[in-house]
Structure formats: C-alpha cells, structure tokens
C-alpha cells in the first residue's frame, strides 16, 4: 500500500519557463506552461510536505498554503533562489524548462528595427540542477529530461553529469507528452540505470507517481 505522508519534509520544486530579456519588451523563452511543476507542488503539499516552488512566468495556481511560491523571470534569478534554499530542503524536483543561454547585453531602451540583420550574442546559463548535484549532501535530487532523440542514452548521461538520484524522461516523440498538454508520458530512470516506462497519464497522475518516488525513498 502507498504511504501517505511527507509531513516534516521540505521539497524545492522548479517549474515553468525562464524568460531571458533582450530589451524592456522582448525576451527569449520556451513553451513550458508550468503545469507539470505546479501539479507536483500541489501533490507534495497534499501529502503534507512544505514546498518551495521556484516558478518562472506561468498562469498556474497553487492549491495549498503549504506551497510557498517564489516567482522569478530569468535562469540567473532561478539559480540564486535555488541556492538560497538548498541547504534547508530534503529533496528537489526540477521540472522547469530553464533557458540554456541568455543575451549577453540587455538594452536599456526598446531596440529599433534600423538594420536588416540583427544578431544576439548569448552566454551560457549555469546548469542549476548540476550545480545543486555538485554540492548535495542528503538531498534526494530528481531531474527531468526533455529529449527528441537517443532519449534513454541522453537521460542516463544527465543522471551522471548532474549527480541525480532519479530522472523523469519525457520524449517529444511520444504523443501527449511534454509542453503545454494536460498529459505526459514519462520513463523513470534511477541512478543504477533501472528503467521504468510509464503509461500516458494526466499530469496530475504523473505528479503522483513522481512524488511516490520521494515517499518510497523515505520509507
Ligand atoms: O510546463 P509544462 O507545459 O507542463 O511542460 C512540462 C515540461 C515538458 C517542461 C517538463 O515535463 C520537463 O520536461 N521539464 C524539463 C525540461 C528541460 O529543460 O529539460 P532538459 O533536458 O533541458 O534539462 C534537464 C534538467 O536540468 C531539468 O530538470 C531542468 O530543469 C534542469 N536544468 C536544465 C538547464 C539549466 N540551465 N538548469 C537546469 O536546472
């Protein structure tokens, strides 16, 4: 039977996209709606955990006052908040779709369309999850992998590179999986590379499966 309690545990969840500003009106972003991460945060709170939800810009709502929402815009802001809280949490679930690059220069004024070509120089953002993996002590770290090819291989590499305990792989080749949709189809891969493919489910039910992995870890 499934255990029902995460009372006494604190879990940090990242959710949504990040927006990387170009000028005061423009940004580089991605299609994450935030739903997967918010469903996870709500499920953790339902089981009694204290939740710190570090969220990029979304229209999602939390259902429980045990979820403390910290809103950020950019990957650099998400990085800072995650590191501020990391020492006090028992587990992390990184569902955010963090932008890998940010514009090197942010214009103070709206950029005018005076030229035929416009090039944006970009710098690599820090990998937030990998930076937490590098300093983790007892924290249980769950990452996502969003892949379009060689899915299992790429996901395994991310487990190793980011020092994860578990990865939740979603493939854009699976119908009903990934961005925006109300459903997801995931495969769990643990740090010993055990592979567990799951059925297509609502994101609420996928969130339950993910949260059960934390419950099992503490059993
Ligand atoms: O928000 P929805 O519309 O509901 O969609 C859900 C989702 C598809 C966004 C979600 O299920 C998902 O897969 N999130 C991770 C997307 C992603 O960016 O994957 P990745 O393979 O690029 O990153 C791997 C892991 O490292 C992720 O846990 C990511 O949060 C983390 N990461 C990546 C880059 C970076 N600079 N910092 C990070 O922490």
CATH label of the domain that carries residue 203: 3.40.50.10300
- Check: pTM over 0.90? Answer yes or no: yes
In a domain, 103, yes or no: yes
- Across the chain, which has 219 residues, the per-10-residue mean pLDDT values are 79 98 97 97 97 98 95 98 98 98 97 95 98 97 95 97 97 88 95 96 97 95
Q: Report the pLDDT value the prediction gives residue 172, as an integer from 0 to 100.
A: 86
The number of domains in the chain is: 1
In a domain, 1, yes or no: no
Q: How far is the CA of 117 from the centre of ligand 1 (A)?
A: 31
ipTM of the complex: 0.98
DSSP H stretches of helix in 87-202: 128-133, 151-162
List pocket residues of ligand 1, CB cut-off 6 Å.
Answer: 14, 32-36, 75, 94-98, 100, 125, 127-129, 143-146, 158, 170, 178-180
Domain that holds residue 25: 10-218
In a domain, 16, yes or no: yes
* 204 inside domain: yes
The DSSP secondary-structure symbol of 97 reads: B
Q: Is residue 4 part of a domain?
A: no
26 in a structural domain: yes
Contact 178, 146 (CB under 8 A): yes
Say if 2 falls within a structural domain: no
Does residue 30 have an active-site annotation?
yes
């Amino acid at each position: 039977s499934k255990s029902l309690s995460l009372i006494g545990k604190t879990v940090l969840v990242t959710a949504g996209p990040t927006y990387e500003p170009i000028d005061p009106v423009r940004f580089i972003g991605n299609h994450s709606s935030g739903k997967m991460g918010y469903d996870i945060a709500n499920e953790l709170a339902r089981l009694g955990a204290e939740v710190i939800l570090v969220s990029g810009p979304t229209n999602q709502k939390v259902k429980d006052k045990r979820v403390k929402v910290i809103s950020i815009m950019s990957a650099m802001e998400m990085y800072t908040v995650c590191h501020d809280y990391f020492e006090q949490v028992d587990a992390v679930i990184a569902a955010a779709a963090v932008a890998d690059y940010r514009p090197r220069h942010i214009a103070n004024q709206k950029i005018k369309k005076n030229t035929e070509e416009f090039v944006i120089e970009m710098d690599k953002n820090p990998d937030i999850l990998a930076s937490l993996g590098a300093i983790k002590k007892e924290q249980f770290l769950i990452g996502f992998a969003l892949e379009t090819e060689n899915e299992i291989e790429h996901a395994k590499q991310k487990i190793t590179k980011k020092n994860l305990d578990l990865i939740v792989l979603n493939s854009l080749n699976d119908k009903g999986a990934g961005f925006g949709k109300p459903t997801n189809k995931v495969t769990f891969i643990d740090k010993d590379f055990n592979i567990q493919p799951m059925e297509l489910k609502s994101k609420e039910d996928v969130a339950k499966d993910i949260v059960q992995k934390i419950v099992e870890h503490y059993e």
